[in-house]
């Protein structure tokens, strides 16, 4: 869902983040994007916390007065609303010959920018807001471009990557998806 804090409040909070932490979190996000681009799904899956919630709410076009209801709510329909177990099922299915939506596999490129970090109440947890562009090409002529904002929850942990992803909300800019499927991860 849209961030709770106003942009100015987020900017002020981001100023309090040390530059080395900003760089460390950005490098984690770039590493994660590279794993997805390179189809290293097992390594990507290892970055997910056991309690992850991975959701992409529906977006509808609303007038200025109804902007609060632009995205579906937590108890409403979403493009996907996954846990670690359901992500595991999606990944296992992609490894089979019955995953026609990814045969041949998509070629993707993820671009992340405008990374803003807010320290959460629990030590070592951060809310990370970023703008993304995801380019996808599949087969010979299918090309999709997705743009939007991600709101990630990162938790510091003792792993080589340094963090685990415990939440991701994908706020897509498009109200109508023209892609044949969304069988990949943002």
- Residue-averaged pLDDT of the chain: 88
**What values do phi and psi take at 182, rounded to 5?**
-130, 65
Rounded CA separation 184/51 (Å) = 20
Nearest to 45 by CA among 99, 96, 87, 94: 87
What value does the mean pLDDT take over residues 68-76? 76
Rounded CA separation 182/54 (Å) = 14
pLDDT at 60: 78
- Which residue segment(s) compose the domain that 33 sits in? 7-172
pLDDT at 147: 96
Rounded to two decimals, what is the model's pTM? 0.85
Confidence of residue 14 (pLDDT cuts 50, 70, 90): low
Q: Is residue 183 part of a domain?
A: no
Q: Is residue 102 part of a domain?
A: yes
Greatest C-alpha distance within the chain = 50
Confidence of residue 59 (pLDDT cuts 50, 70, 90): confident
Nearest to 109 by CA among 84, 142, 134: 134
pLDDT at 69: 73
Per the structure, the count of domains in the chain is: 1
pLDDT at 13: 59
Q: At 86, which CATH number?
A: 3.10.450.50
Q: Is residue 177 part of a domain?
A: no
Angle at 78 between CA 47 and CA 26, to 5 degrees: 30
What value does the mean pLDDT take over residues 102-121? 92
What value does the mean pLDDT take over residues 113-134? 96
| Cβ burial 33-43 (10 Å sphere, 16+ → b, else e) | bebbeebebee
């Amino acid at each position: 869902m849209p961030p709770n804090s106003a942009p100015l409040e987020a900017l002020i909070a981001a100023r309090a983040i040390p530059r080395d932490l900003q760089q460390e979190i950005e490098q984690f996000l770039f590493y994660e994007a590279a794993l997805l681009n390179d189809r290293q799904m097992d390594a990507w899956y290892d970055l997910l916390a056991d309690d992850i919630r991975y959701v992409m709410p529906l977006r509808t076009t609303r007038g200025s007065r109804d902007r609060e209801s632009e995205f579906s709510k937590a108890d409403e329909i979403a493009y996907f609303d996954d846990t670690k177990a359901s992500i595991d099922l999606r990944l296992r299915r992609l490894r089979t010959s019955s995953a026609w939506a990814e045969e041949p596999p998509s070629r993707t490129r993820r671009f992340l920018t405008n990374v803003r970090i807010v320290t959460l109440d629990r030590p070592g947890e951060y809310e990370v807001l970023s703008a993304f562009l995801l380019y996808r090409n599949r087969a010979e002529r299918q090309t999709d471009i997705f743009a939007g904002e991600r709101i990630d929850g990162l938790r510091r942990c003792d792993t080589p990557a340094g963090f685990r992803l415990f939440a991701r909300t994908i706020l897509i800019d498009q109200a109508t998806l023209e892609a044949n499927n969304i069988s990949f991860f943002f």
